Amino acid sequence: MVVLLVIFVFARGLFTGDSSGGSDVVVAQPADQSLAQPTTAAQTVATATPRPTRAPTGGQAAGQSSGSTPGQTWTILLYQDADDQILEKDILVDLNEAEKVGSTDRVNILAQIDRFRGGFNGDGNGDNTRRYDITRDEDLNRVDSQAGAGLGEANMADGATLVDFVAWGVQNYPADNYVLILSDHGMGWPGGWSDPTSGGDPASRSIPLASRLGDQLYLNELDDALSQIQSQTGLDKFALIGLDACLMSH
């Protein structure tokens, strides 16, 4: 215990310069006394020269509205294949939820939806295909956005229908960035997006799977459609493509 006490007193002298503990340790003073004096004002440290902001990438800049930040205008394209007895209600609810946000001066929300007659009777009961420029409202039971000209019974399982919708959106609602969301049933690697009431003939497209699985937007058709969209619109790429369908993580 005596030894520990002596060590403690010695150590205390090292850190405090207190020689009363029997230590002869002397704390050295800085050679430059000005360094030991507190400064009256904080010294300003020069910052490195900031790098210039990288120019935004994306689609056409023609869609920029007055006063908008360059690179920050968006067109969201909702390809909603609700021509299905089971999913019609769910996809229609999705459309109503998009209305809770609505388009703004920087974000265009567009939708093309094909319904199924007799599947869900809410908010009308038809099987026509319609396009919408989504406007904001709080009613989740009724689509209040103004519909454009009806497209009749479009075949949402045909890649040409997808190309036509996206080309319409890009040409009429140009923006810096584009997002494409495709909603319906999915089958994984074969594809998805069926349309049983359109009268489409998948056999005419020389797709072997079609003889068993019927009229679908097969994955090779989706790939072809995206390539056609690029060539027709000059769009470099989508900021996001969302496959709102089962099994599409395959």
Q: Which residues pair with 191 in a beta bridge?
A: 218
**What Å distances lie between residue 2 and 23, 31, 208, 211, CA to CA?**
16, 38, 94, 96
Q: What is the pLDDT of residues 12-49, one digit of tens each?
A: 444 444 444 444 444 444 444 444 444 444 444 444 44
- Mean pLDDT for the stretch of residues 87-101: 93
Q: What is the pLDDT of residues 45-92, one digit of tens each?
A: 444 444 343 333 333 444 444 455 677 999 999 999 998 888 988 999
Q: What is the pLDDT of residues 158-187, one digit of tens each?
A: 999 999 999 999 999 999 999 999 999 999
